[in-house]
Amino acid sequence: MAKAASKNAKIKDAKAAAESKNWTKVIRAVRSPKSGAYTFKEQIVHKDKVKDYLAQK
């Protein structure tokens, strides 16, 4: 039989899920100065700072 989850575990998971929704994975194309080829940089950024991250070079 399956084990029933406790109420505390459900509350803890809900809080963690709510906090994790504030983060975004940003993928950005960066051009190599030598070859001109593009590479992709991935980073997890808070949703309030996405525009700042994309604005920097």
Distance CA(17)–CA(11), nearest Å, equals 10
Q: Does any domain span residue 5?
A: no
**pLDDT for res 14:** 73
The yes-or-no verdict on residue 1 having pLDDT over 60 is no
Q: Show the domain range for 42.
A: 19-55
Q: Is the Cβ–Cβ distance between 41 and 25 less than 8 Å?
A: no
State both tokens at 38: 């593009």
Distance CA(57)–CA(48), nearest Å, equals 18
The answer to whether the pTM exceeds 0.85 is no
Q: Does any domain span residue 2?
A: no
- Collapse the DSSP code of 40 into the 3-class scheme (helix H, G, I; strand E, B; otherwise coil) and give the result: strand
Q: For 11-56, what is each residue's pLDDT tens digit?
A: 667 776 778 889 999 999 999 999 999 999 999 999 999 999 999 8
- Collapse the DSSP code of 13 into the 3-class scheme (helix H, G, I; strand E, B; otherwise coil) and give the result: helix
Beta-sheet pairing, 38-46 with 23-31: antiparallel
**pLDDT for res 10:** 63
Q: Into how many domains does the chain fold?
A: 1
